[in-house]
Amino acid sequence: AQLIRREDYTAPAYWIRSVDLTFELDPAKTLVINRMQVERNADQPAQPLRLHGEDITVTRVLVNGDSVSFRHEDGQLVIDTLPDTPFSLEIRNICAPDKNTKLSGLYQSGGGLFTQCEAEGFRRITYFLDRPDVMAVYTVTLRASKAAYPVLLSNGNLVEQGELPNGKHFAKWHDPFPKPSYLFALVAADLVAREQHIRTRSGKDHLLQVYVRRGDLEKTEHAMNSLIASVVWDEARFKLPLDLERFMIVAVGDFNMGAMENKGLNIFNTKFVLATPATATDVDYAGIESVVGHEYFHNWTGNRITCRDWFQLSLKEGLTVFRDQEFSMDMTGSATARAVKRIEDVRQLRQIQFPEDAGSMAHPVRPDSYVEINNFYTATVYEKGAEVVRMMQTLVGRDGFARGMTLYFERFDGQAVTCDDFAQSIADANPDSELARQLPQFKRWYSQAGTPRLASRGRFDAPTRTYTLSLEQHGLPSPGQSEKEPYVIPVAMGLVGRDGRAIPLQLEGEAEASGTERVLVLNQPRNFYTFVNVDVEPVPSLLRGFSAPVVLNDHLADADLLVLLQHDPDPFNRWEAGQRLALNRLLAAIGSDEPLVLDAGFTDALRAVLRHPELDAAFKDLTLTLPSETYLAEQLQVVDPQKIHAARESMKLQLAQALRDDWAWAFEQHQVAGGYSPDAVSAGKRSLANLSLSMLCLASAADGDTVWPGRAFQRFKDAGNMTDRLGALSALTGSHAELAAPALERFHALFKGDALVIDKWFALQATTPEKNGLVFERAKQLLKHPDFSLKNPNRARSLISALCMNNPAAFHRADGAGHAFWADRIVELDGINPQLAARMARVMDRWAALAEPYRTSAHAALQRVAAKADLSNDVREIIGRALQ
């Protein structure tokens, strides 16, 4: 397999200006007639035309109407002799959608035909310059059986449709916007659509459509509402209007990722479209809003301006994640709900991206090399990329950032560009900002891998009434980068008095105090900041709102953290203080042989949060949820998953018991009356009620009491929505209650045939906290369940990823059976869907940090996968990096 390097980028030798595609659709044998207008790129030396193609069969090649000779070399179709002037190139080829289990290119799902072209799927449909800097105008004609495929869709506008002989029909689509091939899409299926006409601010009329299988139409209301909200938001916040007459979303049950932003024809995993209160949870509703927003926002950040090459992936993904995060925050409607969303996003970053940055797949936001680009659709490119954009906004302000976006579109609309182009635009629109002053250094966030460490020390000097803060940064080595240069780190901060007062901030040299919060910009290995006119020793509240993606060691004692937990005006740091109090205790227990015994100071503080008269339920829920096992593992040099699990379970149980009356109070107080609404306030109440119920069932299990499990079972049966039903079921499974088994059986019977709900049924069992190896045994049995299949990505993830990635104590077993189970599944799945297999293989990224005996068995499992002769490039790259 070939390593592709960023520094080797060269512009294409040819441009393809327009494409006219005709498809004779047939699952076993689809004929593609591909007519292109091609011209040489005069900036490049004369050379043969090399077209990408994979798993397709060419039947004829014509240049300006005449057949030409061609050859195959390195998987490409090569034409040596071509005119110097622009020419037409016609290629006919065949592909077989029904054999395509990789779900990349043209494939079959539920009787319909769908495409997925990002990153390199178009070459599995026809021969092309399948790279994002080749942008063409597409006209597409689809011909197919009308009975089997009554709906025929492609990008852009429908220009013609009609009947054909032999029960066939056709539709012709034209997309006026030049686009890279990865944004091409077609759908041929038996679908129905929810439709909505809207008039946007600019006075233009548009048709919005959400296509689903018959019977799913009533599950599309939330997706449609989310789409309308996205259109309105992008125009209001960034002045970016919908540029198409028609915008379509199509849901498909077999899909490798969440969704795909094809121009005007977004294709979605059903998981991010279908929802009713009875079948989807609050988390699902929020996920739909965020993914619908994300794909819609790509229309400008990704489609109108796209990536020059795949190393620039974060140009569109980091920016679009930032935009969808801002959208979701703006949709919540309250300052606390915004903070809750921020906490959830940071939790996600720490749970997935921080371990990535510390493991074998660590790479910069703009990677330097890859073997298989699909392996680089990562949390680093997406979530850390979004943090880099967020830091830019912090450094230039919200209005300055909007100005920068405007300049970016003025400069680059219709082009394929780089991360440098984006950063330069934001800086140039804000010439007096810290970003503009320090842009080359700031851009190290794009080029250096790993999570920087930030250490702070404060010194209060009573006689001079000064408080001096030192901030020190250092980067850890990562694969291929042993040394790190200092970053530009925006540190939002305030000083909090022990009585809870926010202290006015005045730095030495400033004439007077201004405000109680500011952003310090660290750019040296160590910077000092001296605050004057400070009367009493304050508690520093640093990195408010998580203003930079770093690991902070602020050396705060428990007493300081308790002050912040009680008083910090920044909700993020208030939550963080609670997490740190829990983390300190958990890490101490993991590192010693003494059992963990919770102190009253900690439990009283958490009780005060739970009973607080003003705090939001969602905030309480997050503060009372303990740091995850994965996050705990992230703090340790040597990881013993069983010790981590034991410590966390012990703390959870003690908290359940110590606050028993408080949980009961919280459960009663946070019942949501009336019909279901997914709004942030109601969802917050439901999640706190569900957490309370879980804790009550846990405490009951320890005492042999059956009252709360009985109530949970009743609630499970009577629940008016999926959030409450699944919450009650999870309280039963999580406490290993006897009623868990009948409840699971009932759940399955109730939702048999609803694929997304059955996914939840598998995932819940695979993520149940491990006890005596029973969870692992059950997961193994579930492999044989008639509803299980490795071919459907959602189902495969619901069991395999859930167990191996989200249940470390069930997976990392002393007997090595979990690791062997993983190796078997990776090998099996690699033969079906290498992209998915490679994602699941990532669970071993940090195997080398495992304690014995887990380390040895993980190594053996990795070697077993590596030994498979015909392993895909996808999996080989992941395993190879892990074993390096």
Q: What are the residue numbers of the active site?
A: 295
Judged by CB under 6 A, the residue of 20, 54, 118, 234 near ligand HT7 is 118
How many angstroms separate the CA atoms of 520 and 373, rounded?
Answer: 37
Residues 317-346 that bind ligand HT7 (CB under 6 A): 317
The Cα–Cα gap between 72 and 130 comes to 16
Residue 828 φ/ψ region, left for φ over 0, alpha for ψ in the -120 to 50 degree band, beta for the rest: alpha
Stretch that binds ligand HT7, among 113-121, 666-674, 791-799, 811-819 (CB under 6 A): 113-121
389 and 322 in contact (C-beta within 8 Å)? yes
Report residue 352 as tokens. Answer: 């997935």
In the list 34, 116, 448, 721, the residue contacting ligand HT7 (rule: CB under 6 A) is 116
Structure-block tokens of residue 751: 């939702």
Least distance to ligand HT7, CB of residue 489, Å = 27
Q: Measure the CA–CA gap between 300 and 422, rounded to whole angstroms.
A: 13
Residue 32 contact partner, candidates ligand HT7, Zn ion, none, CB within 5 to 8 A by sort of partner: none
Cβ 358 to ligand HT7 shortest distance, Å: 24
Q: Which is nearest to 809 in space by CA: 645, 698, 659, 653?
A: 645
Contacts with Zn ion, 308-347, as mask; x by CB under 5 A = ---------x--x---------------------------
Given Zn ion, ligand HT7, none, residue 857, with its beta carbon under 5 to 8 Å by kind, binds none
Nearer to ligand HT7, 262 or 765 (CB): 262
Whether the CB-CB separation of 22 and 33 falls below 8 Å is answered with yes
* Whole-angstrom distance, CA of residue 357 vs CA of residue 49: 39
Q: Rule CB under 6 A: which of 223-262 touch ligand HT7?
A: 256-257, 259-261
- Looking at the Cβ atoms of 249 and 396, the one nearer to ligand HT7 is 249
Among 117, 127, 414, residue whose Cα is nearest residue 266: 117
Distance of alpha carbon 125 from alpha carbon 31, whole angstroms: 10
CB of 418 to ligand HT7, least distance (A): 17
Per this entry, what is the length of the chain?
A: 884
Residue 157 forms beta bridges with which residues? 174
Report the residue number, 318 or 641, with the smaller CB distance to Zn ion.
318
For residue 37, the minimal CB distance to ligand HT7 (Å) is 27
Which entry of Zn ion, ligand HT7, none binds 374, CB below 5 to 8 A by partner kind? ligand HT7
Structure tokens at 783: 């492999």
**307/739 with CB nearer ligand HT7:** 307
Q: What tokens does 66 get?
A: 């005449």
Binding mask 459-498 for ligand HT7 (x = CB under 6 A): ----------------------------------------
Token pair listed for 537: 């020793």
φ, ψ at 61 (rounded to 5°) = -135, 125
Q: Report the distance separating Cα 378 and Cα 117, nearest Å.
A: 18
| CA distances for 453 relative to 151, 476, 554, 582, 629, angstroms | 54, 8, 11, 21, 21
Partner touching 256 among Zn ion, ligand HT7, none, CB below 5 to 8 Å by kind: ligand HT7
Q: DSSP class of residue 301?
A: B
The footprint of ligand HT7 on this chain (CB under 6 A) covers a number of residues equal to 14
Partner whose binding site includes residue 795, from ligand HT7, Zn ion, none (CB under 5 to 8 Å by kind): none
* Binding site partner of 118, from ligand HT7, Zn ion, none, Cβ cut-off 5-8 A by kind: ligand HT7
**Peptide bond connecting 853 to the previous residue in cis, omega within 30 degrees of 0:** yes
Q: How far apart are CA 148 and CA 652, in angstroms?
A: 54
The mark string for 282-311 relative to ligand HT7 (x by CB under 6 A, - otherwise) is ------------xx--x-------------
Q: Which of 599, 555, 549 is nearest to 580 (CA)?
A: 555
Nearest-approach distance from CB 216 to ligand HT7, in angstroms? 21
Pick 325 or 767: Cβ nearer Zn ion: 325
Closest to ligand HT7 by CB, 370 or 663:
370
CA distance 848 to 242: 48
Find the binder of ligand HT7 among 89, 119, 231, 273 (CB under 6 A).
Answer: 119
| Residue 836 found at the interface with ligand HT7 (CB under 6 A) | no
Cα–Cα separations (whole angstroms), residue 330 to 165, 181, 224, 828: 52, 33, 18, 44
Q: Which of residues 354-413 bind ligand HT7 (CB under 6 A)?
A: 374, 377
Taking a C-beta distance cutoff of 8 angstroms, is the pair 280, 274 a contact? yes
| DSSP annotation of 847 | G
How many Cβ atoms from other residues are within 10 Å of residue 71's Cβ?
10
Contact mark string toward ligand HT7, 72..111, x via CB under 6 A: ----------------------------------------
Size of the residue set binding Zn ion (CB under 5 A): 2
3-state secondary structure 257-289: CCEECCCCEEEEEHHHCCCCCCCCCHHHHHHHH
Decide: helix, strand or coil at residue 523: coil
665 binds ligand HT7 (CB under 6 A): no
Cα angle 392-293-267, degrees, rounded to a multiple of 5: 125
**Structure tokens, 240:** 């970016």
Closer residue to ligand HT7 in complex, CB, 416/577: 416
| Residues 348-387: x where in contact with Zn ion by CB under 5 A, - otherwise, as a string | ----------------------------------------
In the bound state, the residue with its beta carbon closest to ligand HT7 is: 257
* Binding-site partner at residue 640 among ligand HT7, Zn ion, none, CB < 5 to 8 Å by type: none
In the complex, minimum distance from the CB of residue 230 to Zn ion, in angstroms, rounded to a whole number: 13
Structure tokens at 280: 């989807």
How near is the Cβ of 93 to ligand HT7 at its closest, in Å? 22
Measure CA 838 to chain center. Answer: 16
Whichever of 254 and 434 has its CB closer to ligand HT7, that residue is 254
Task: Report phi then psi at 337, rounded to 5.
Answer: -65, -35
Contact (CB, 8 A) for 49 and 79: yes
Taking the complex as a whole, the smallest distance from the CB of residue 302 to ligand HT7 amounts, in Å, to 7
Complex with ligand HT7: residue 125 or 339, whichever CB lies closer: 125
Task: Rank residues 271 and 760 by Cβ distance to Zn ion and give the closer one.
Answer: 271
- Minimum CB separation of residue 232 from ligand HT7 in Å reads 20
Confirm or reject binding of residue 554 to ligand HT7 (CB under 6 A): no
Beta bridge partner(s), residue 77? 51, 72
- Shortest reach from residue 417's CB to ligand HT7, in Å: 17
Cα-based distances in Å from 71 to 124, 346, 389: 18, 51, 45
Q: Which range of residues in 112-120, 469-477, 478-486, 511-519 is near ligand HT7 by CB under 6 A? A: 112-120
Nearer to Zn ion, 320 or 547 (CB): 320
| Residue 480 Cβ vs ligand HT7, minimum distance, rounded to whole Å | 24
Q: Please, what is the minimum distance in Å from the beta carbon of residue 181 to Zn ion?
A: 17
- With respect to ligand HT7, which residue has the nearer C-beta, 260 or 552? 260
Residue pair 319/389 in contact (Cβ under 8 Å)? The answer is yes
Q: Choose the one of ligand HT7, Zn ion, none that binds residue 257, judging by a C-beta under 5 to 8 angstroms depending on kind.
A: ligand HT7
Query: Do the Cβ atoms of 329 and 386 come closer than 8 Å?
Result: no
What is the binding site for ligand HT7 (CB under 6 A)? 116, 118-119, 256-257, 259-261, 294-295, 298, 317, 374, 377
Residues that bind Zn ion (CB under 5 A): 317, 320
